[in-house]
Structure 1
């Protein structure tokens, strides 16, 4: 409606994208596309380890498998991944999704990045993770990742928060409903449907504890697929929020003080854990994890633990970054065994330490190497 459009323009007055008339685009997206031409958007992780980049090329066939897609290059000196004198970085397609923005036969193509001598770039964590997944294939590791995030306006304040001061204290917002409880649901719904269309194994979504904070989950997925799905889901979240003129941050502590931070709780199980009396295997895994706490903290955010330090304080439903702990149904522990798992004596464990801006490949890699490869 006119009123809500005007309101959002007031709230996002500094956001150039919010001011654009989005309905004009449909006129062009509705143009018939030649049968022998498709658009393939190549997507990759930049040198920060958390930024996502993309560019599009035209193909004259509909790809069914990543191996059919051509390699490509980009300017790594503009993505913090190469020097200007030798700036070409290679894109190797590894997964294909349907494109919910362009639709039709158009595709999203997730890529790994390689330097000119074809070694993985420093932020290509997928390469090493995939090696670990191949080594433990027989155990069929499952991952379910809970991605928390926060909407921001162009002042970098959480969307809809008063310009001076704060909203009412936490309590009514988690899984809330109502105009005074939730902010930005349109983006959440658009993202959910786009993920389903794309082929992302998205499991659900909910409003989080802090106003303007949300969560979606991917999985359970076997092996490398969980990380692939999460990166594509993140790309779609940023891309869809862009159309609304809203910023998405994966910062683990977007607001200081007693406001909840954001994590990427990772649920992990193996075939042995899912069998009768698998709780024994879960406890063995927790024992191994307890001895590798520092290694995991270093792998669980892009800055080797520095980001998580602001979040893992032992308050606001987090454990302390300095101590390893585990417990049944304990949201203040490093590792939580869900109540239902303890009762069934089989299932999975939840690692609550990964930061919202973690690289899921690093997290899944660390879990497999510690719990299964005994590294």
Structure 2
């Protein structure tokens, strides 16, 4: 018998990369190996030198096809064996290894918005729905739109063995969130990219598109983020380490904002539970701050922080590399490891 392996990779589209995938038939018992693709069709190579290489890095069951089928997440390499310039996972690997002893944990809250026929799911053909207020974690056909897709996606993530930890309806109609983690920097990003692919693929069957646009509707509507929760062993034991991490993020605030997703200034306006993109702040239980310290962390004097700035369209390999590098370096220098 043979089985289907869906090779998934991240392309070179700018400013926001897209997912691509194709199917390979493998003999029963054969492990997915390297494969090639046409980089000139994915913004990763010129037509006269178009070969690129897929190297599997994360393999899990394919919950859509079932049986022995697999999903195969890959890094992209050049034919000379070096990582492709668009391969952001390769840039994360040495940072994750450098600070592995600090035992970083991440939980990423992936917000997204369903669109159908050119408008958010739940929006009327003309005009707008009722203002925000009842949609967040709502229940009922007048408040929640797309639940069948969301439930199928959650089941698929569980069947694939992804570290999904929850779902909820978000503030705008047709807007949802799933959470991945806790997990280390490479694992959380691998699982998030795979969960995104599953979301897009399942939504296809309903003629619905899931978008990571950080501000899908202009005006008095919430944007979509990827709030990133982070801790190290020291932070899980000491409030001083929490403050060190916050101050480190403050010192490199604009470097992080520049890496946290395209069009971030459209979302980080200082309204709709955001801090202005040009300013940095942190505070306890403050969802209007750049970084929130949860109330129970302040109470227990240990725990984690939530960086609220990353966009929904952020590359998780980039956000985990930035936070790991900034915070772990500062904690190491402070002797808080």
Task: Please tell me whether residue 199 in structure 1 is matched to residue 199 in structure 2.
Answer: no
Q: Distance in 1 between matches of 2:80 and 2:311?
A: 32
Q: Distance in 1 between matches of 2:260 and 2:104?
A: 18
Q: Secondary structure at the match of 1:271?
A: coil
Q: Which residue of 1 aligns with 2:76?
A: 113
Alignment counterpart, residue 27 of structure 2, candidates 60, 68, 85:
60
* Partner of residue 319, structure 2: 363
Query: Could you tell me the TM-score, scaled by structure 2's length?
Result: 0.96
Is this contact kept in 1: 2:225–2:312, CA < 8 A?
Answer: yes
| Residue of structure 2 equivalent to 1:47 | 12
Paired residue for 1:176? 138
Partner of 2:255: 295
1:143 aligns with 2:106: yes
Candidates 156, 174, 196, aligned match of 1:212 = 174
Cα distance in 2 for residues equivalent to 1:200 and 1:239? 16
Q: CA deviation at 1:69?
A: 2.8
Q: Match of 1:260, SS?
A: coil
Aligned to 1:9: none
Do the aligned partners of 2:185 and 2:321 also contact (CA within 8 Å) in 1? no
Unmatched 5+ stretches in structure 1: 1-33
CA–CA separation in structure 2 for the residues paired with 1:233 and 1:62: 25
Gaps of 5+ in 2: none
Residues 43-75 of structure 1: per-residue CA shift (max 9 Å, x gap) = 000112431000111111346xxxx43111100
Q: Is the 8 A contact 1:154 1:247 kept in 2?
A: no
Per-residue Cα deviation, 1:138-175 (whole angstroms, up to 9, x for no partner): 111000000000000122x1012111100000000000
Cα drift, residue 106 of structure 1: 1.0
Q: 1:269 to 1:172 in 2, by over 3 A?
A: same
Note the C-alpha offset of 1:118.
2.5
1:83 aligned onto 2:50 = no
Q: Deviations over 1:168-210 (max 9, x none)?
A: 0000000000010000000000000000000110000000000
SS at match of 2:241: helix
Moved more, 248-257 or 49-58: 49-58
- Select the structure that is richer in strand: 2
* Corresponding residue to 1:253 among 211, 215, 219: 215
Which one has the largest radius of gyration?
Answer: 1
Q: Does 1:338 align with 2:294?
A: yes
Q: 2:91 aligns with which of 116, 124, 128?
A: 128
